Structure 1
Amino acid sequence: MTSTALAPPPERLFSARHLPVAAGIIALVTLGAFENRAVISIMPTATRALDGLAWFGAANAASMVTFMVAVVVAGRWVDRVGSRTVLLAGLATFAAAQVVTAAAPSMTVFLAGRGLSGVAEGLIDVSTLVFAARALPEHLRAKVFATFAAAWILPSLLGPGAAGAAEALVGWRLVFLLPTFLLVPALLLLLPALRRDTTRQDDDDQATTAADASQPAPLGPAIGLATAVALLSVGGPLAFDGGEHHRAGLLALVVGGLALVATVRAALPAGTLTAARGIPAVVALRTLLVVAFGGIGGYLPLMLDVTHDVGPALAGVSLSLTGVFWAAGSAIHGLDVVQRHLDAAARVRLGLALIALGGIGPLLLSLEVVELVPGLAGWALAATGMGLSSPSLATEIFVLAPQHEQGRATAASQIGASLGSALTTAGGGALIAARHDALDGGVFALLMGISIGAAVVALTLTQRLRP
């Protein structure tokens, strides 16, 4: 018998100790992914049935606007009471939102339901991330965040088909109710982990109180930023689609732009606009990452339809590629060898480089310089890069933020991502509206070129991740 004790085996994410947390979180992410894909598929049918197709853009923007406010509330709430209470409130709000939307007798009620859905998403997203980070040891965070992307694969493949089948058999309202049926098993999987939740420690009270006293409430700027996003989202199409509401659209763009300038600095951590080292750089990189990736992927199906005359099924292949290769990149990110040899900055750099390089494929495809297969192969490379970069930035937030400020830091990161998505949507929507009568590959090439440029800019900032 030797006197030297054997080193204990490394902890695994799906070991008996951590299985309740991992299973519950993956179930929640899968639920959210299914709801997202199903709703995207059924939204045109639902708005048309309620005689509200003109409000299609507003229905999409409603959840985005309320989400930006909800994440701020969620961040402060999590830091005060812990993630369990906020998560349960988010799940209850999610169920209410689905019921309101499914039962909507008019477009007004439907919009209210979509807004309530954004509130639920904000509460769930922040509390889930903080819960995962606090319930698992640091070396397992990368692995659980990597599973988030994998949890989107089946919903991406099955969600649209399930939505179509439900609509054909019963009607579009059932599509919004289906996620509530999945909520029960997801909650049952999560309950054992929630009972063990000890993320709110008494000795954090004094630090949390001090943090609250030293920082102004960010809710006002967040509301202003959300309002700016809403105005910019609807202003572009109104201003440039050739309709009679041209002046109203221009006014919305001007007011939205002014609101954005007035509120963005206060809504984000100090130093974000200059990518100051630490958390501000993480938030800035998250924003640029969404612009780089979303500015290509968000318009890829439409580009394929316009420039290559492919049907919806083939255009939807891009969504499947996104899910599969994003998950592949996240799986690579979670490998022990990658975690040992590449720090967060190196992983983000590699991911951004793949996005910039892979984005050239869809750009050339939009100009019909390359055929479908090489163009989509480039997109698969970009999706792999997103899988490497996104979880790296998510884990870095929890390395840099003290525990009593993790909720607020997570909320800031989510706001940055939402802002990047909103600006991409608003800018691209305005350009497409302006050229809707003569839409061609050049418009999409311009949008994708801007996105590749954002990835290149982000590459120069990765060394600022650590203070």
Structure 2
Amino acid sequence: MKRTALTIGLVAMVSLVAFEYMAVAVAMPVVARELGGLELYGLAFSGAMAAGVIGTVLGGRWADLRGPLAPLWAGAVTFAGGLGLAGFAQSMEMLIAGRLVQGFGGALVQVALYVVVARTYPESLHPKIFSLFATAWVVPSMVGPAIVGVVVETAGWRWVFLGVPILTAIAALFLFRGLVGQPVSGGQADTAPGMLGKLGWAAVTAVGAGLMQYGSQGQVLLLVSGLVVLALALPRLLPAGTLRAARGLPSVVALRGLATGAFFAAEVIIPLMLISQRGLSTFVAGIALTGGALTWSLASWLQGREVFSRMTNLRGGTAMIALGILLMGAVTFEPVPIWLAYPSWIIAGFGMGLVYPTLSVLTLELSSPGEQGANSSSLQVGEAVFSVVAVAVTSALFTAAASGYWTVFAATLVMALAGLWVAPRFGVTTPGHQKTAVATAA
């Protein structure tokens, strides 16, 4: 019963963080119209992302030193508090402050949950747990927009923020029940060398990502400046050799960034392409993304039951992402039938479902007990920053080519193909539990 309660609590907490991430994007136009401060619109997103990078780095180190409970509960309280602050906001500045607090707390929660999984579940169950985590991220993207729309229209946008803390408290009760008596109370690392320096580099990384995000709107100087800042700061937060995909953990982190960056940068442009260039309605265009979300969940379920080997998951999944992007890119050309868009993203979504949770499992398998938090934070920081870079660069290409949809798919296809080269370098060739020597964090 305790394990059931723990699993429910873990999945519920991941779902709530994912739901709020999506819900804010849907509700923000209404929020900005009521509160004013439209010029601060982008900061509501980039600010939360920046705070999340810092929270991820702190949470990982904290969990290794003191165990995952402290960052987990601190993150849950901070996440809920930030939502409350945003929900009662009387100005755009107050809402952004709430988003900063919420982003920081959500990041603490996410990295702590990885360590909880490592400390409370046997390795044989890790694939199943991370398949549930993947589904918990995907489901809100399918049902969330409709729920948020109803809430905004009936109860008002404030309840998009104020309703989630109540659900967070319920999820926390399940977690508390499931964690009683579990071996999670202490840390497994004696020291966290350079912790303050890591937090400083996390802040610099957040600034670089923010510059790229703003620079993607045609501000080339900001875009280039952000890329330079990231080139200096990001390697300090990732396992040594990540940017050259060294074997072992560095290749796992690199592949997570390449796969998610390619997938999400392509997905961002798909509705616009299908509506503006191919003339579909918003609803019909959205079905293409729904198909990808469904197959992502299906493939995650298969990964959790270890239907395929780890190598098959990574190689086959990355190849499917590349194929899906290639086919969707073909849809940008008028002679290509529009129906191809639907199987295209079904294929890409299935590939993500194989790749994404497998990389989470491998991160824990390739981590010693005192490095699980730090390495999990590296995985999540790499994913977030690679995705920001991919979206920023492809947005700039799209603008430079005057609505050149094909440039976005070409760039993301290159990323996916790079991931295909990285995929076999993780150092474990079977679903067994052997450890591989990995580079330590820089």
| TM superposition score normalised by structure 2 | 0.91
Q: 2:408 aligns with which of 425, 438, 447?
A: 447
Structure 1 residue 200, shift from structure 2 partner: 4.5
C-alpha contact 1:152 1:323 (8 A) present in aligned 2: no
Amino acid at match of 1:224: V
Deviates more, 1:101-110 or 1:389-398: 101-110
Structure 1 residue 123, shift from structure 2 partner: 0.4
C-alpha contact 1:153 1:320 (8 A) present in aligned 2: no
Deviations 1:389-425 (A, max 9, x none): 0011100011111011100000001111011111022
Structure 1 residue 154, shift from structure 2 partner: 4.4
Determine the structure 2 residue equivalent to 1:405.
Answer: 371
Q: 2:326 aligns with which of 360, 363, 379?
A: 360
Distance 1:92 1:216, change over 3 A: closer
Determine the structure 1 residue equivalent to 2:423.
Answer: 462
Structure 1 residue 214, shift from structure 2 partner: 7.8
C-alpha contact 2:397 2:407 (8 A) present in aligned 1: no
Q: 2:8 aligns with which of 14, 20, 23?
A: 23
Secondary structure in 2 matching 1:270: coil
Secondary structure in 2 matching 1:316: helix
Secondary structure in 1 matching 2:41: helix
In 2, distance between residues paired with 1:430 and 1:191? 46
In 1, distance between residues paired with 2:198 and 2:311? 28
Structure 1 residue 291, shift from structure 2 partner: 1.8
In 1, distance between residues paired with 2:413 and 2:162? 39
Determine the structure 2 residue equivalent to 1:266.
Answer: 236
Structure 1 residue 229, shift from structure 2 partner: 0.6
Secondary structure in 1 matching 2:190: helix
C-alpha contact 2:318 2:423 (8 A) present in aligned 1: no
Structure 1 residue 255, shift from structure 2 partner: 3.0
Deviates more, 1:326-335 or 1:298-307: 298-307
C-alpha contact 2:115 2:373 (8 A) present in aligned 1: yes
Structure 1 residue 173, shift from structure 2 partner: 1.3
Give matches, 1:374-385, under 5 Å: 374-385=340-351
Deviations 1:82-113 (A, max 9, x none): 11111111110111111111122211122222
Give matches, 1:37-436, under 5 Å: 37-152=22-137, 154-201=139-186, 204=188, 208-209=189-190, 212-213=192-193, 217-237=197-217, 240=218, 249-338=219-308, 342=309, 344-434=310-400
Amino acid at match of 1:112: A
C-alpha contact 1:282 1:396 (8 A) present in aligned 2: yes
Secondary structure in 2 matching 1:196: coil
Amino acid at match of 1:209: D
C-alpha contact 1:94 1:120 (8 A) present in aligned 2: yes
C-alpha contact 1:69 1:226 (8 A) present in aligned 2: yes
Secondary structure in 1 matching 2:240: coil
Structure possessing the higher radius of gyration over alpha carbons = 1
C-alpha contact 1:69 1:219 (8 A) present in aligned 2: yes
Distance 1:394 1:216, change over 3 A: same
Deviations 1:102-157 (A, max 9, x none): 12221112222222221012101101111122211001000011112333454333
Amino acid at match of 1:229: A
Amino acid at match of 2:225: V
Deviations 1:247-277 (A, max 9, x none): xx44433432331222122222211111111
Structure 1 residue 197, shift from structure 2 partner: 3.0
Gap runs ≥5 in structure 2:
428-435, 437-442
Deviates more, 1:302-311 or 1:139-148: 302-311
In 2, distance between residues paired with 1:368 and 1:114? 41
Deviates more, 1:398-407 or 1:283-292: 283-292
C-alpha contact 2:75 2:106 (8 A) present in aligned 1: yes
Determine the structure 2 residue equivalent to 1:7.
Answer: none
C-alpha contact 2:66 2:186 (8 A) present in aligned 1: no
What is the percent sequence identity of the aligned residues? 33
C-alpha contact 2:254 2:382 (8 A) present in aligned 1: yes
Gap runs ≥5 in structure 1:
1-15, 241-248
Deviations 1:28-52 (A, max 9, x none): 1222232223222111111222223
Secondary structure in 1 matching 2:183: coil
Deviations 1:317-368 (A, max 9, x none): 2342232111011011112443xxx1x2331111001111122221111223
Deviates more, 1:154-163 or 1:412-421: 154-163
Secondary structure in 2 matching 1:276: coil
Distance 1:224 1:80, change over 3 A: same
Amino acid at match of 1:306: S
In 1, distance between residues paired with 2:335 and 2:385? 32
In 2, distance between residues paired with 1:258 and 1:53? 29
Deviates more, 1:381-390 or 1:270-279: 270-279
Amino acid at match of 1:299: I
Amino acid at match of 1:105: Q
In 2, distance between residues paired with 1:57 and 1:213? 35
C-alpha contact 2:299 2:353 (8 A) present in aligned 1: yes
C-alpha contact 2:209 2:388 (8 A) present in aligned 1: yes
Determine the structure 2 residue equivalent to 1:13.
Answer: none
Structure 1 residue 452, shift from structure 2 partner: 1.5
Amino acid at match of 2:7: A
Number of equivalences: 428
Distance 1:100 1:369, change over 3 A: farther
